[in-house]
Structure 1
Amino acid sequence: MNARWRTFAIAFAWLLVVLLVVGGLVWQRTYERVSSQERVTLAHGLALHAAELRDTDFDAARKLGTAAVGIHSDEQTRAGLVDTLVDTYGRALSPLIQEPSHEVTVSGDGRVALSNDGGEANVWDLKSWTDPKAIRKPDQVPPLKGREGASVNTTALSFDGRTALTGDDGNTTTVWDLTDLAKPVRLATMEADRTAQSTNGVKKAALSRDGRTAVIVDHDGVMTVWDLADRSHPKRLSATGSDTVPIRDFALSADGRTVVAVDDHNKVAVWDASAAEHPVKAADLDLSMKFSQNGTRTAMSADGHVVLVQRAGQIEIWNLNDRARPVRHTTLDLSFDKLYGTYDMSLTSDGKRVLVAGPSGSGTLWDLSDPAKPARLATLNGHMPEVESVALGTDGHLALMAGSSGVYFWNLTGLDEIVADPKQASCDRYSAEISKAEWARYAGGADWSEYKSEDSDSVSVCLIDWWS
């Protein structure tokens, strides 16, 4: 009997040990889960406060954003810190331009920009902004005016910035020589097709990379191709409609041989302009996006192989390696960025980055290195209620944004470093601490002792993950 009870007692003791061990593991996992969730909540709360302070108190926004990533690094906290750090690169192009600007264009080499205020085109020499070794000189040079006092509707620049086009509401496009930016020279004018009855003039213009081919669309939707081999004596090569439906927007490849055009019914067609005298429709894009009253826009890489089509907060990415057989890569949804109605987008010449902007007052920069898996890089704060036009330099390190408050400029040469490790990028440039009062204000009652050394009376944002 004693042996039986002894065996029972041993079994019960083992059972108790097992229960205690299991209970301890359950408690530990529950504690870790709760602790982890508390860290996530704290990090997201600090990131939210950082976003709220971004426009008014950069130092506080950076401190809180860096702390958020240190406490819990995820897509939300990293993106918030990236946006805060990138925002420091933005600045007004000039204090002279504070009135609304409807359009901005930049040359491929990043040397020249044009901004259009609806009356004339302002010319900007960007060298002193992008090259720290350049001798500072006036940024703005004499504006480009429409013919006989007409208002400028649209502009275009060649890759080297030496040739510019201004299309006005008199249905005339002027060719300019910008070799000497201080003295723009009017070389020639190109009149709209004589059959056109437009009263609103030129809608959009584009130049091939070498500046020898110009494509112009007027408000009647007629697409005209011009030969600018002799810029002083342009030669009209063709005038084309889109199956009698007016063309409203288009994109031109660098070699001038591919045009992607949007008509008045928001249908998109690919045109083979290899024979500029007789452009031929190569294919229609079978868009999956629903019809929207918002205008459809398009952009194209320099080689004509990547095409973006935007409509109502969505962008379809297409492959045009074979112009006759377009292939859809994917659809990018921008609605969570409040870009339900996108006003403009700009694609780098290699098709790997796109800047999209609209009524949210900001622009979103995306990485399209893998067209099937677009990745959000950063948000550029436009510092204005609405952004109407954006432009990216060839390598994506130069960005311009125009709208109701003027023109803003970004030098994004450090963006890759920031995106790769925003916390490290922040700590390489700045060192900061959060005081007890600041912690109490922004941390929502979280115990700060977990995030600092025992003998410190503040939280070091760059060492916060060492102590937690």
Structure 2
Amino acid sequence: MPRGERELVRDGSPLVDFAADLRLLRTKAGTPSYRAMGGTAHYSSTTLSEAASGRKLPSLAVVLAYVRACEGDAAEWERRWHALAAELNEGRAPMTAEDVSGAPYVGLRAFGPDDAHLFFGRERLVAEIVGKPQRLVLLFGASGSGKSSVLRAGVLPSVTAQGKTALLFTPGTHPVERCSVLLAAKLGVTAAAVMDGWRDDRALHRLVAQVSAGEEVVIVVDQFEEVFTLCDDEDERARFIAALAVAANAPGSRCRVLLGVRSDFFAHCSAHPALADALPDGQVLAGPMTAEELRQAIVAPARQLQLTVENPLVADLITQAHGRPGVLPLLSHVLLEVWARRSGSRLSVTGFQQAGGLDGALSRTAETVFAGLDEAQRTLARTLFGRLVALGEGTEDTKRRLTVGELGDAPGLAEVLEAFTAARLLARDGDGVEITHEALIRAWPRLHGWLHEDRESLRLHRRLTTAADAWESESKDSGALFRGMRLAMTLEWAAGHDAALAPRERDFLTASRSAEIAGSRRLRRLVVLLSVVSLLAVTATFVAAYAQRRAAEQRNTARAQVVAEEAADLYPANPQLAVQLALAAYRLAPSAHTSDGLLSTLPLAVVRQDAEVLSLALSPDGRTMATGSEDRTARLWDVTDPRRPVEIAVLTGHTEEIYGVAFSPDGRTLATSGFDRSVRLWNITDPRNPVRAAVLTGHTENVHAVEFSPDGRTLVSAGWDRTVRLWDVSNPNQPTEAAVLDGFADVLYDAGFSPDGATLAAVGDGQGIRLFDVADPRRPTALATAEGHDGGVYELAFSPDGATLATVGDDRATRLWDVSNPREPAPVATLNGHEDSVYSVAFSPDGNTLATAGDDRTARLWNVTDPRHVTGPDTLSGHWDAVEVVVFSPDGRTLISGGWDRSVRLLGTDVAETVAHACDHVTTAITEAEWERYFPGLSYERPCPA
């Protein structure tokens, strides 16, 4: 996982030297783990590791946090960072709109109808959309896959060339209003008149019939996900979707509807019957462009202006962009930057390097603009971008259009807006402003960091903005004001964020506070009145008694939750006391929270090792466990009795930490892989006397994962050298290489076979989930790429029936995919709950439970009996450091987790049985003093008999 660092070779590059010196600083500090550094720096281990990767310039905030965690000189490193940023940027100001006039590339913005002569590479996709016989078509694609450009510069010119009328718009916060404005312009009436006629699902159908005059009308709704992210009125959302469906499908309709939707909103669409009926026949996927399509997109626009692109640059761009989700805005932006640095009529590799490369150009542009602001303006920029992003709920963050009224009037804001607009990072018109493309959210580390740090604050601010809008739209009705706890929380937040508030938000809070004070006065007068009415004295007594009971219940519930968490943290040091505390908390206030705490203290066994546990596997018969560790050893354990694991062998030979272990289906062979770039096969017919069978070489960097095919004849290995290798291990003593899959965008973390062995999935940094046909392991062929994660994907698991694929990664999400047809993988569900990167995922043998684990020190169990309606999770908190790996036993009765706390925990999955035996190993009863410490005010009661 991201703990391990790839080898960094100083090549004279100032960026690599900077990263190498950061690593040297960490070494001088005693090489603390990134997890430990994160506790001090308040950044995730992944973010800190990436800062020293040498791949891109980290933000100044991250660098200073890294340095302080290693007790370095912050002032010195701040000077170095500014010098490096200046060197990388070469003092060049971001290009303005005037600078790019006449350019063959459009940068971050989408291609429009006027850019059709420059739009190349998507001809096949455009033809597929236009040629669909269905009248309601949904174009799905990841953010950055070019959906908007396809619709605007490809589909729109195509349909208008056929003499059809086209209406293009984005939904915004009020999609019915947006659509009505366009129709009104076509009909020559007012928008209000159109909206008045929008009374039922057939309204749009009738209006389109008036517009069409016998010709076909094509309604194109770009960024359709705004219906879910920006439109808060569920009734308007439902009416809009239903109206689109009726307009397209009504008998005699002359209307076609094309929707451009981000792929991570597939589940949102499928939840609406009107859209679900259009799937899958009306679905089109904007997948990654082929190498030839990328070549056309790079070369053809330049050729239109008699420019040439150097062949090495074309090859480099194709290699970096091929098969990579969300890369097209980065490609377009860097090409525009290279064009600005052209030498005569040539676009060169030198210009590409000066621009910052494919991944660095956009971040560099944004960072240069930010560096040019003064301190007050930088604070305003942070607030502005926080407003410009709609935070995802189980989906990626998206851009959000900001109206003029919400901008506010803070001094200096106009200069901030102008700076980012001039650099084409923001798009402005008379009505408001928005981020030019969501790629900026992913590619600018500073913005990504702001959103990560301020997430809850931004959510609270967004709720305030929405409430203020509703209050104004309802003529400032007092019933729309905040009250009680919501008002108190918002006022507390606003006290520290006054500069972030727009005038109308201040007015809303002022009115809410005044109404609350007036209400409190009325309440006090009422209480005085009631107190003098003696006839109500008895009633008041009952009320007081009830309130006292409720207060006691609430106090007990809160106390039980706190103790449940404390018990889980206490377990490593004092397991007997932890079990009794957790059991008492559960009995005091039974809940999912206290149940999770109890289970966390009731492992069947805990295996301690001298080094971090990085990999783990169980033999097919469930009797032998293998662990791979940071100490360069693999160990075999007899777990026939999971309550009493016994170490039976130590395998040595690797020269670096071991990140992969796997048993063959017959249990006779063990494969191990590690950061020494090798894969080793071991004959474990007698697990107590393992014998090395072979060493597989070929990878040129760390080998992160190994897995056997279901028939045991093929082994797959995935590495940081951007390759997946298939090995024929029919004879484990004489293995041979069967095939090599390359062309991946970045390092690989995992690869695995489907249960039938016909499909292989591979995941890593920057390439989505890649699926291959490996029915013939010597001739693997690419099938599809599934996109959705925001960041690296660390592990995958197929369900036992092979219909579902689960993936986890750096974005804290677990994603489920329908791979029943591996040529057309489709997102099914996104599971959120982890508070940091998720490293491991495993299905139970019956396929009904999914286990996940990660950097937040927890393992979580999800009920996935119906993958489209997942419930849970149950949270297990026994580890005190990151959980690297989680697996089920073959019989499903044991869940095993291993982590950076140098331990392996074995937990029974039969919760009732586990709880029934909670006191089996308690020999020392909790004392009255200990009870009073954790349960003050409650009568002493032993949870376990003496």
**Cross-structure match for 2:686:** 180
Preserved contact between residue 111 and residue 161 of structure 1 (Cα < 8 Å): no
CA distance in structure 2 between the partners assigned to 1:319 and 1:250 by the alignment: 17
Q: 1:251 to 1:126 in 2, by over 3 A?
A: same
Preserved contact between residue 100 and residue 403 of structure 1 (Cα < 8 Å): yes
Report deviation, 1:438. 5.8
**Cross-structure match for 1:154:** 660
What are the superposed Cα offsets for residues 316-350 of structure 1, whole Å, 9 maximum, x if unpaired?
Answer: 12232222233333211123xx3x11233333344
Report deviation, 1:204. 1.9
| Higher normalized helix content (fraction of residues) | 2
Matches within 5 A, 1:130-209: 130=642, 139-146=647-654, 152=658, 154-169=660-675, 171-192=677-698, 198=700, 200-209=701-710
Q: Does residue 100 of the first structure (1) align with residue 612 of the second (2)?
A: yes
Q: Does residue 298 of the first structure (1) align with residue 793 of the second (2)?
A: no
| Higher normalized strand content (fraction of residues) | 1
CA distance in structure 2 between the partners assigned to 1:150 and 1:441 by the alignment: 46
Q: How many residues align?
A: 408
What are the superposed Cα offsets for residues 102-144 of structure 1, whole Å, 9 maximum, x if unpaired?
Answer: 3222223222222223464423132454387xxx9x6231414
Q: Does residue 321 of the first structure (1) align with residue 820 of the second (2)?
A: yes
Q: 1:103 to 1:59 in 2, by over 3 A?
A: closer
CA distance in structure 2 between the partners assigned to 1:248 and 1:434 by the alignment: 46
Say which of 872, 895, 918 aligns to 1:375.
Answer: 872
Report deviation, 1:206. 0.9
What are the superposed Cα offsets for residues 4-27 of structure 1, whole Å, 9 maximum, x if unpaired?
Answer: xxxxxxxxxxxxxxx999997786
Q: Does residue 342 of the first structure (1) align with residue 834 of the second (2)?
A: no
> What one-letter code is carried by the residue in structure 1 that aligns with 2:625?
A
Larger of the two Rg values belongs to structure? 2
> What one-letter code is carried by the residue in structure 2 that aligns with 1:306?
T
Q: 1:272 to 1:174 in 2, by over 3 A?
A: same
Q: Compare 23-32 and 213-222 and name the one that shifted more.
A: 23-32
Q: 1:150 to 1:68 in 2, by over 3 A?
A: closer
CA distance in structure 2 between the partners assigned to 1:436 and 1:153 by the alignment: 46
CA distance in structure 2 between the partners assigned to 1:62 and 1:212 by the alignment: 46
Say which of 695, 704, 714 aligns to 1:213.
Answer: 714
**Cross-structure match for 2:761:** 260
In structure 1, the residue corresponding to 2:590 is in which secondary structure? coil
**Cross-structure match for 2:624:** 112
What are the superposed Cα offsets for residues 337-396 of structure 1, whole Å, 9 maximum, x if unpaired?
Answer: x3x1123333334433333333333433334333322323340512x4333333332234
Preserved contact between residue 121 and residue 143 of structure 1 (Cα < 8 Å): yes
Cα RMSD over matched residues?
Answer: 3.7
* TM-score relative to the length of structure 2: 0.39
> What one-letter code is carried by the residue in structure 2 that aligns with 1:231?
P
Q: 1:165 to 1:113 in 2, by over 3 A?
A: same
**Cross-structure match for 1:455:** none
**Cross-structure match for 2:592:** 75
* TM-score relative to the length of structure 1: 0.73
Report deviation, 1:51. 3.1
In structure 2, the residue corresponding to 1:445 is in which secondary structure? coil
Report deviation, 1:92. 1.7
**Cross-structure match for 1:454:** none
Report deviation, 1:73. 2.5
In structure 2, the residue corresponding to 1:276 is in which secondary structure? coil
In structure 2, the residue corresponding to 1:277 is in which secondary structure? coil
Matches within 5 A, 1:427-442: 440-442=932-934
Preserved contact between residue 611 and residue 631 of structure 2 (Cα < 8 Å): no
In structure 2, the residue corresponding to 1:381 is in which secondary structure? coil
Report deviation, 1:179. 0.4
Q: Does residue 45 of the first structure (1) align with residue 563 of the second (2)?
A: no
Q: Does residue 445 of the first structure (1) align with residue 937 of the second (2)?
A: yes
**Cross-structure match for 1:412:** 908
Q: 1:101 to 1:80 in 2, by over 3 A?
A: closer
> What one-letter code is carried by the residue in structure 2 that aligns with 1:324?
R
Preserved contact between residue 727 and residue 739 of structure 2 (Cα < 8 Å): yes
Q: Compare 23-32 and 216-225 and name the one that shifted more.
A: 23-32
**Cross-structure match for 1:66:** 583
In structure 2, the residue corresponding to 1:102 is in which secondary structure? strand
Q: 1:461 to 1:370 in 2, by over 3 A?
A: farther
CA distance in structure 1 between the partners assigned to 2:576 and 2:848 by the alignment: 32
Say which of 201, 216, 222 aligns to 2:723.
Answer: 222
In structure 1, the residue corresponding to 2:855 is in which secondary structure? coil
**Cross-structure match for 1:123:** 635
CA distance in structure 1 between the partners assigned to 2:534 and 2:784 by the alignment: 71
CA distance in structure 1 between the partners assigned to 2:620 and 2:891 by the alignment: 9
> What one-letter code is carried by the residue in structure 2 that aligns with 1:264?
D
> What one-letter code is carried by the residue in structure 2 that aligns with 1:395?
D
Q: Structure 2: 5+ residue runs without aligned partners?
A: 1-532
CA distance in structure 1 between the partners assigned to 2:720 and 2:921 by the alignment: 50
Preserved contact between residue 763 and residue 793 of structure 2 (Cα < 8 Å): no
Q: Structure 1: 5+ residue runs without aligned partners?
A: 1-18, 449-457, 464-468
CA distance in structure 1 between the partners assigned to 2:826 and 2:642 by the alignment: 37
In structure 1, the residue corresponding to 2:775 is in which secondary structure? coil
In structure 1, the residue corresponding to 2:682 is in which secondary structure? strand
Q: Does residue 361 of the first structure (1) align with residue 857 of the second (2)?
A: yes
Q: Does residue 36 of the first structure (1) align with residue 550 of the second (2)?
A: yes
In structure 2, the residue corresponding to 1:77 is in which secondary structure? helix
Q: Does residue 249 of the first structure (1) align with residue 750 of the second (2)?
A: yes
What are the superposed Cα offsets for residues 433-457 of structure 1, whole Å, 9 maximum, x if unpaired?
Answer: 98876665444436x5xxxxxxxxx
> What one-letter code is carried by the residue in structure 2 that aligns with 1:261?
A
Matches within 5 A, 1:279-294: 279-287=780-788, 289=789, 291-292=790-791, 294=792
Report deviation, 1:262. 1.7
Q: Does residue 398 of the first structure (1) align with residue 894 of the second (2)?
A: yes
Preserved contact between residue 610 and residue 902 of structure 2 (Cα < 8 Å): yes
CA distance in structure 2 between the partners assigned to 1:428 and 1:219 by the alignment: 47
In structure 1, the residue corresponding to 2:838 is in which secondary structure? coil
Larger RCO, structures 1/2 (Cα 8 Å, 6+ apart):
1
In structure 1, the residue corresponding to 2:711 is in which secondary structure? coil
Report deviation, 1:462. 8.6
Q: 1:404 to 1:317 in 2, by over 3 A?
A: same
CA distance in structure 1 between the partners assigned to 2:679 and 2:944 by the alignment: 56
Q: 1:404 to 1:429 in 2, by over 3 A?
A: closer
Report deviation, 1:169. 4.8
CA distance in structure 2 between the partners assigned to 1:57 and 1:168 by the alignment: 34
CA distance in structure 2 between the partners assigned to 1:428 and 1:122 by the alignment: 32
Preserved contact between residue 101 and residue 403 of structure 1 (Cα < 8 Å): yes
CA distance in structure 2 between the partners assigned to 1:363 and 1:459 by the alignment: 31
Q: 1:374 to 1:252 in 2, by over 3 A?
A: farther
Paired-residue identity, %: 21
In structure 2, the residue corresponding to 1:395 is in which secondary structure? coil
> What one-letter code is carried by the residue in structure 1 that aligns with 2:685?
T
Preserved contact between residue 772 and residue 781 of structure 2 (Cα < 8 Å): yes
Q: 1:76 to 1:388 in 2, by over 3 A?
A: closer
